[in-house]
């Protein structure tokens, strides 16, 4: 019983001890649906095939976003934070000091 408890505690603590990755690569291809990518998978030999096979691949990601725009959507996918948190609310950049795009 004690061994099982120690093992459980070690398993729970392991993610906290892990080092974060030095580099994270995030690729988003607009208008490339998962269905098309997976249908094309047999023809892929390297590049995307390697990323699909060895990377984190989420074929059915969904996130809540009222207005669909590229910049906020990619920011949500890459950071996990919504626009109210990141400040990326649209595709256009506003200079706060001048008020101009």
Residues designated as active site: 70
Specify whether the CB–CB gap between 88 and 71 falls below 8 A: yes
Specify whether the CB–CB gap between 39 and 31 falls below 8 A: no
Burial status of residue 71 (CB atoms within 10 A of its CB: 0-12, 13-18, 19 or more): middle
């Amino acid at each position: 019983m004690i061994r099982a408890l120690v093992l459980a505690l070690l398993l729970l603590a392991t993610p906290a001890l892990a080092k974060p990755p030095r580099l994270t690569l995030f690729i988003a291809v607009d208008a490339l649906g998962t269905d098309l990518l997976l249908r094309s998978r047999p023809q892929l030999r390297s590049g995307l095939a390697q990323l699909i096979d060895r990377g984190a691949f989420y074929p059915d990601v969904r996130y809540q976003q009222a207005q669909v725009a590229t910049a906020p959507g990619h920011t949500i996918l890459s950071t996990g934070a919504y626009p109210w948190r990141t400040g990326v609310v649209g595709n256009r950049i506003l200079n706060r000091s001048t008020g101009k795009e």
